[in-house]
Amino acid sequence: MCGIVGYVGDKESAPILVSGLKKLEYRGYDSAGVAVVSRNTLNVVRATGKLRNLENRVSQEEPKGTIGIGHTRWATHGRPSDENAHPHSYKGVAVVHNGIIENHLALKAELRARGHHFSSETDTEVFAHLISDELDSGRDLPEAVRQAIKQVKGTYALAVVCSSDPNRIVCTKDASPMVLGLGEGQNFVASDVPALLEHTRDIVYMEEGDLAVVTAQGVALYNRQGQLVNRPTRRIDWTPMMAEKGGHKHFMHKEIWEQPRAVADTLRGRMLLSEGDVHFEGWSLSPEKVRALSKVTILACGTSWHSGIAGKHMIESLARIPVEVELASEFRYRDPIVDSTHLAIAISQSGETADTLAAFKEAKGRGATAMAICNVMGSAMTREADISVLTNAGPEIGVASTKAFTTQLVTLYMLAVKLGRMRGTLTVQQAQEHLTRLTEVPKMIEEVLKCETSVKRVARDFMSSQDFLFLGRGPMHPVALEGALKLKEISYIHAEGYAGGEMKHGPIALIDEKMPVVVIAPKQPHVAYEKIIGNIEEVRARGGKVIAIIDEDDTHVASLADDVIRIPPACALLAPVVATIPLQLLAYHVAEMRGNDVDQPRNLAKSVTVE
Ligand code: M6R
């Protein structure tokens, strides 16, 4: 997830681009840049870090030109740095890109063989080289872009300017968003509407495969087949804040609904289905090293710790390595037993959580191989790690973690499959079956999001409760913990998550007719379905109210529960991804109905960088 802007008109473009990028900073903020064209000269200005660094450079260098493109980056390939910041340019062609080019390594190898040199670690730079080659072979800019994208596998929203064709921006998109803004004697391109509202409210949404040629006078839009097409112009009456949230009332709600896309991005380019394997960029563990692993230690806090518990089920079951899941804040103050046969995995959305970072350093210092599963490339944990695996969820703004959690779960599942293949605990065919299930997850999340109406009804019935209990067994235990954490952090209702079997060892004393108990009960043996039904009976016998998360076709639990929320059936190890989503929505709607500040709940910070 990155932000793109483009401007062509009669004004200086650089200040317009920087001001548009400010509205898109929520899409990424590890570096930014602009490329402007004036009298057949391309000027590129880039800076690592927040947008103000670019703003300072632009005000010092004052790049001139009434046409230009800009970008704010969320790193996926290549650490945050000036060299990896967009725009990327080659022989007068400058490109900005949002998306992932899956075959960039193969394309780079081909281009290098033809004498090209690359100046960044990014996948994006190949676009500048491919387009430049097409221009050299006599094509005009739109055709050069069209031919270049034919060679690329992956997702993109791409905007291109060129010093030899200085009056037009060419942009195209597939699976990443891109809109056009229509003005008088000036026109605009952007990843999202907020970047444009200052200048125009007349917006054209590009469709998959569209290519647009944008000049100061107008926009020509072509479909994938190269035919000229008309797309409707929509008048947007959102406020800038509403636009940033994509029409959702809160970032948390937007991020919950983004999960099909976020999970698809996590999987993208990594599933080697025919080989029954997983590709992680920068993977450096040899098969011998993996076979010699005696233990995996997962280090994390909060929601990331919950995903670690689900990860334990996945790795132990598929790769047969013992896994310990440690609260980072406890691990660092013990005298933990760690040696060079251990793999320490830090899981963190931000990559900056102080306790996780300190525990990670401790484990690495004692000889463990250090792997970071992070959403933020270039964060402290990815810098500390021997291997980093990005979750690719895009920036998460709401303090309550949602898409960070589900993308961590699918990353851990891929890791379990990869380790299983390397250790020989999974055959090619078994790995293929697991990977096929993973490919179905984005669709399943789309399905489960349809439960929002029933969740809202439950939220209305229980919004005034003082306490909640969440129960789950096996892989549903971390889901219970996560459901309780979500509810308490944004609704301020006291909530406890418990393994179902533990209920009779204490929490059962709390149950009375005022206590809602959320039971996560998909129908699987691993989840001890029969036993969780036992829990439901125990709650009912004490007058407690049962809200059950059940498979679509479950009639038995439905007959016992006071309320049910139905989810599509998933295999036991992937069911946590699907089952968590109704609980995110429940917490969201309860908090919203209670009038709380959902995105910035009291006393909490998005990233806890202090002990
Ligand atoms: O950035 P991290 O994943 O390391 O953050 C860890 C926790 O602080 C975080 O998950 C926290 O529990 C969230 N507010 C949960 O929604």
Q: What is the pLDDT of residues 263-284, one digit of tens each?
A: 999 999 999 999 999 999 999 9
| Residue 304, ligand 1, Cβ within 6 A | yes
Q: Which CATH superfamily is domain 446-593 in?
A: Glucose-6-phosphate isomerase like protein; domain 1 (3.40.50.10490)
| Residue nearest (by alpha carbon) to ligand 1 atom 4 | 348
The correct CATH number of 265-439 out of 1.20.120.1200, 3.30.360.10, 3.40.50.10490, 3.40.50.720 is 3.40.50.10490
Q: In the numeric block, which tokens belong to residue 133?
A: 């080659």
| Residue 372, ligand 1, Cβ within 6 A | no
Spell 533-543 as b/e; 16+ CB within 10 A means b. Answer: bebbebbbeee
The CATH 3.40.50.10490 portion of the chain extends over 265-439, 446-593
pLDDT band, very low/low/confident/very high, at 413 (cuts 50, 70, 90): very high
| pLDDT the model gives residue 441 | 97
| pLDDT the model gives residue 544 | 92
Pick the catalytic residue from 64, 91, 456, 606. Answer: 606
Task: Please confirm, yes or no, whether 2 is among the known catalytic residues.
Answer: yes
Tell me the three state secondary structure of residue 47.
strand
What mean pLDDT is reported for the chain? 93
- Residue 481 pLDDT > 70, yes or no? yes
| pLDDT the model gives residue 611 | 62
| pLDDT the model gives residue 526 | 65
Average pLDDT (553-573) is 92
pLDDT band, very low/low/confident/very high, at 505 (cuts 50, 70, 90): very high
CA distances, 91 to each of 68, 94, 128, 149, 450 (Å): 16, 9, 8, 18, 49
| pLDDT the model gives residue 66 | 97
Choosing from 304, 376, 390 the residue with most ligand 1 atoms within 8 A of its CB, the one to mutate for a pocket test is 304
User: Which region among 138-142, 384-388, 442-446, 596-600 has the lowest average model confidence (pLDDT)?
Assistant: 596-600
Q: In the numeric block, which tokens belong to residue 469?
A: 């209990």
- Residue 114 pLDDT > 90, yes or no? yes
Structure-token match 């290519």, residue found: 211
DSSP states of 465-479: -SEEEEEE-GGGHHH
| Residue 350, ligand 1, Cβ within 6 A | yes
pLDDT band, very low/low/confident/very high, at 479 (cuts 50, 70, 90): very high
| Residue 303, ligand 1, Cβ within 6 A | yes
Choosing from 489, 608, 610 the residue with most ligand 1 atoms within 8 A of its CB, the one to mutate for a pocket test is 608
CA angle 199-253-348, nearest 5°?
A: 105
Pick the catalytic residue from 2, 162, 301, 374. Answer: 2
Looking at the chain, the whole-number percentage of residues with pLDDT higher than 90 is: 81
Task: Please confirm, yes or no, whether 571 is among the known catalytic residues.
Answer: no
**Distance (Å, rounded) from C-alpha 504 to C-alpha 257?**
36
Spell 180-216 as b/e; 16+ CB within 10 A means b. Answer: bbbeeebbbbbbbbbbbbebbbbbbebeeebbbbbeb
φ and ψ at residue 344, rounded to 5 degrees: -100, 125
pLDDT band, very low/low/confident/very high, at 366 (cuts 50, 70, 90): very high
pLDDT band, very low/low/confident/very high, at 610 (cuts 50, 70, 90): low
| pLDDT the model gives residue 2 | 87
CB 95 within 8 A of CB 131: yes
pLDDT band, very low/low/confident/very high, at 116 (cuts 50, 70, 90): very high
Tell me the three state secondary structure of residue 572.
coil
**Ligand 1 centroid to residue 322 C-alpha, Å:** 25
pLDDT band, very low/low/confident/very high, at 525 (cuts 50, 70, 90): low
Write the pLDDT tens digit of every residue in 117-155. 999 999 999 999 999 999 999 999 999 999 999 999 998
- Residue 449 pLDDT > 90, yes or no? yes
Write the pLDDT tens digit of every residue in 152-197. 999 899 999 999 999 999 999 998 889 999 999 999 999 988 899 8
Tell me which architecture the domain covering 3-244 has in CATH.
4-Layer Sandwich (3.60)
- Farthest CA pair distance, the chain: 81
**Distance (Å, rounded) from C-alpha 448 to C-alpha 433?**
22
Structure-token match 């802007």, residue found: 5
**Ligand 1 centroid to residue 63 C-alpha, Å:** 41
Higher pLDDT, 70 or 504: 70
| pLDDT the model gives residue 382 | 92
**Ligand 1 centroid to residue 224 C-alpha, Å:** 42
pLDDT band, very low/low/confident/very high, at 61 (cuts 50, 70, 90): very high
CB 548 within 8 A of CB 561: yes
Q: Which residues contact 520 (CB under 8 A, 6 or more apart)?
A: 470, 471, 472, 476, 479, 480, 483, 527, 532, 548, 549, 579, 583
User: Which region among 190-194, 290-294, 325-329, 469-473 has the lowest average model confidence (pLDDT)?
Assistant: 190-194
The CATH 3.60.20.10 portion of the chain extends over 3-244
Write the pLDDT tens digit of every residue in 64-102. 999 999 999 988 888 889 999 999 999 999 999 998 898
**Distance (Å, rounded) from C-alpha 350 to C-alpha 401?**
10
Torsion sign (Cα): 572, 575, 580, 583: negative
Choosing from 345, 350, 583 the residue with most ligand 1 atoms within 8 A of its CB, the one to mutate for a pocket test is 350
- Residue 240 pLDDT > 80, yes or no? no
What's the predicted TM-score (pTM) here?
A: 0.81
